A and B are shown apart, each in its own frame.
Chain A
Amino acid sequence: MGMFTAINIAATGMTAERLRQDVIADNIANVDTTRTPEGGAYKRSRVVLEPITDTPYFRLPFLPDEWDGGAGNGVRVSEIQKDTATASRYVYDPTHPDAILSGPYEGYVEYPNVNIVTEMVDLIAASRAYEANAQIVNGAKSMFLKALEIGR
């Protein structure tokens, strides 16, 4: 428990939220992308977060659970995952160069499975979480200043 533990943890949270914001920006920018190097329309990506643990995770077998760990080390991005579960949007537009030529979807264009409303809500959530982490930094600093005022 150092002087800057809370601040360092909050910094990891802020970095993670910034990355979420970047990914949301990428999703929204690609809302109409119909061709990708992998083929097909763009798939929305999402950020998967995990706590930072000491690797390899070491734990004494004799240690009671209550004594294990203490405060964590913050958060990090585990992976940026492609959302393949959500269905793509299909829009009928036979003159589009990427229109599907045959099959049941003939004449339709496959658009990404990005929903602007979902992305906007995610953006609000990310920016609120970022603000919360910034508030942690400010709170840690004001607590520290209060400690310095003791006995003055």
Chain B
Amino acid sequence: MATIFGLSGASSVRDIQMVTKPTTARSLAQLSGVSGILDAEDGSAQSDALHVSGFEDAMLQALNGVNQDQLDASQAIESFIVDPDSIEAHDVTIAMAKANMSLNIARTVLSRVVSAWRDLINTR
């Protein structure tokens, strides 16, 4: 995440290495900055992995899209640092804007879901 918003040069390559690996729900949630929301579902997701649930799949797919935007932005920044001639400046900033926007919408949707859940459990 620091690579996307902070443009830190030295640590960026290591961060990108870390980001490219995860595929599970837990690591996706962590790197998208929404950890703690999917963690509760993590155990059930692994216990019955074959069980297909619509909302969860849709959420994971959306998070994969968010992750892909982050990866694109990281890759654009990396190639801009390593080889500035290989990519245009506006492509880098547009990739960053896309990553920012998709992360924003993911965060908004998740926070709405969580607040709806809180509303439900506070029903008395």
| Chain A residues within CB distance 8 Å of chain B | 3-4, 7, 10-11, 14-15, 18, 134, 137, 141, 144-145, 148
Contacts and interface: CB of A to CB of B under 8 A. Distances in A.
Interface of B is mostly: helix
Given A11-B90, A14-B90, 12 more contacts: A3-B101, A3-B105, A7-B97, A10-B94, A11-B91, A11-B94, A14-B88, A137-B94, A144-B105, A145-B104, A148-B104, A148-B108
Q: Which of B100, B102, B108 has the most CB of A within 10 A?
A: B108
B24 to A, nearest CB: 25
A119 B106 CA distance: 46
Contacts of A145: 104
Contact of B98 (A7, A15, A134, A148): A7
Nearest to A15: B88
A10 B94 CA distance: 10
Interface of B: 88, 90-91, 94, 97-98, 100-102, 104-105, 108
B2 to A, nearest CB: 21
Nearest to A8: B94
A20 B111 CA distance: 45
Contacts of A134: 90
Contacts of A18: 88, 90
A148 B105 CA distance: 7
A134 B94 CA distance: 9
B48 to A, nearest CB: 32
Contacts of B101: 3-4, 141, 144
A14 B97 CA distance: 15
B94 A7 contact: yes
Contacts of B88: 14-15, 18
A141 B105 contact: no
Contacts of B97: 7, 137, 141
Contacts of B105: 3, 144, 148
A10 B88 CA distance: 14
A83 B91 CA distance: 30
